A and B are shown apart, each in its own frame.
Chain A
Amino acid sequence: MKCFKKVVSLAAAAAIVLSGSAFATLRADAATPTTYYIKYDEDKSEWRMQIGNWDKEYEGTQLYYLNEGNDKVKDGDVVVILENDEGVQGHGDISINAHLSNLTVSRTSAVVAATGGIDNCYVLGESTAAISGNVTNGYVYDDAKCTFNNNVTNLSLIASQENDVDLDCSVKGTVAYCSVSNPGGIVKQYYSFAANTFYYDHASGLMTDPSNYSTSGSVPAASTATQTTTQTTTTASSQQSAGNASSGAYDDVPKTGDSNLAIYLFALSAISFAGCLAFRRKAASDNN
């Protein structure tokens, strides 16, 4: 019986490996993303961090360990900057030596520098943030104040009420596409802002000179520069951008992948052979 199980396990493993290579989609994914929570400690006058969640019983570790040691942040991780319990705004920069899949600034004041860039950056209401590092998708919500110090590919300004976009946002790099939306949907779209020209004022709306942007164009695809950094997260972000519109048929473009017919056949042969061996051994052991 043991032998039978072993053979079946081996056959299953062989089948997985072979079919995996047959589909040619197996790749070395990055490890599961870790979520880092960061909160300002007023007593210590410094940022502290915890991993996985924020436990009020603990004060958290020094921010130094965000970039050093065994638990240091890696490409594809998530960082959430939380509101201080007493409502005190944070002081001091938060440097992150990685490419983040997500960064959220929640009702606090923070200066963040992500050296590898950020796939999705959320600046929630009542937050004040300065973000350094290229951002693929930036989301700034009502009542927030945000400065992006580098390029933003897709920038979404999101109002909580119709006809009242109450936020301030400036970008020192370029903005490929900007949408202004409220609960009713997208109300304005702008394209191709020149570097250091984007400024949206809560009272006056878009302050950029019309010569520095366009009102027509196409929404850029998720930046592939980030795709090369973290395969797993970019796959997700690419699919997200693809899924933005709706489901449906794909564009008609010739499929230029290599054929996997021979690999499929070899895999089926190996699986059949493994099954053959398993049954033979089972029959032999039953005889004994």
Chain B
Amino acid sequence: MNNDKNKISVRLGILSLLFLAAAIASVIFQYSIGEHSKDVLNNMQQAVAQSSEPVSVSDGAVSDGDAAEQTADATGGADAGGDADNAEDAGPEPMPQAPNPYQDSFLANADMGAWLKIDGTVIDYPVMWTPRDETYYLYRNFEGREDQNGCLLLDTDSCTNPLTTNLIIHGHNMRSGAMFGSLTKYQDASYCREHSQITLYTETCERRYEVIAVFRSQVYKKTDQVFKFYKFFQADTEEAFDDFYQNIKALSLYDTGVTASFGDHFITLSTCTYHVQNGRFVVVAKEVEGGEQYAPFR
């Protein structure tokens, strides 16, 4: 009888060690992958920092096959409509165009749809856009290697060219604070005031945004007839725009003082939270003027 107990005890001990080893291995593996991803990101960020001063370029519109393919993907992958105002709708007098500071990153991975940066926060990441498989980079780093941090994802119904009314970006709420791990700090109005400027660098231009609403929501069932922030991409009518705008303002944890009207564009940053099942913490920002136009580089 005692022998049996001793045997069970030994087996449980071995099992415990195995689980412990697996847990430690998992932590080490994730850490090493994370460190590698960090290095890659740091290199990309340094490359941006070292990029040359903006210069005026008169032409240089090189349109190769890849660019054409990407544009075709863009128009096919989103309910964009035909009235988008993208940067290439240049007027009679073309604006001076600076070189894109993220040019190398765009060229390094054609899946990169934009670069998101919020000054004063850790959010300074590439945003991947993969219409064929939205979650391809959910657990992969910029190089496509497995990584629990994943990458920021531009919703495949959003599009930067032509620009949809709302660009939704999903990111992991990592305990380490990486990706959108710090996004929930926006529940504090004073933090929001200090970090209200969001910048999105696309292939063609820099887009600047100002936070307009911060709220908690959730992913609902398909049959639920409620406001779903994650279903709004394109406002072709004023009514559709107002419906989204009024709902986000009503849900907002506080008044940011920023208003919007039909024709404005938004960026929506979304991450998981646990206040309810399938909870989401959401920061919506409205595009403001002042972004630079970039010279074509493909």
Contact = CB atoms under 8 A, between A and B. Distances in A.
A212 to B, nearest CB: 13
Interface in A14-47: 24-25, 27
A272 interface: yes
Among the interface residues A153, A261, A279, which one has the most CB atoms of the partner chain B within 10 A?
A279
Q: Is the interface of B mostly helix, strand, loop or mixed?
A: mixed
Given A218-B243, A220-B226, A283-B2, A247 B221 contact: yes
A219 B225 contact: yes
B144 interface: no
A214 B239 CA distance: 9
B264 interface: no
Given A221-B226, A286-B5, A239 B277 contact: yes
Interface string A245-261: 11111110111111101
Contacts of A235: 275-276
A64 interface: no
Given A214-B239, A258-B172, A221 B218 contact: yes
Contacts of A270: 16
A283 B5 contact: yes
A200 B103 CA distance: 60
A225 B2 CA distance: 60
A282 interface: yes
Nearest to B10: A276
B104 interface: no
B15 interface: yes
Interface string B1-36: 110011011101101111110110011001000000
B278 interface: yes
24 contacts: A192-B243, A214-B239, A219-B225, A219-B226, A220-B247, A221-B218, A221-B226, A227-B216, A241-B224, A245-B221, A246-B223, A248-B222, A253-B219, A253-B280, A256-B173, A259-B30, A265-B19, A268-B19, A269-B20, A272-B19, A273-B13, A273-B16, A276-B9, A279-B12
Interface of A: 24-25, 27, 153, 176, 191-192, 214, 216-221, 223-225, 227-228, 231, 234-235, 238-239, 241-242, 244-251, 253-259, 261-262, 265-266, 268-270, 272-273, 275-277, 279-280, 282-283, 286-287
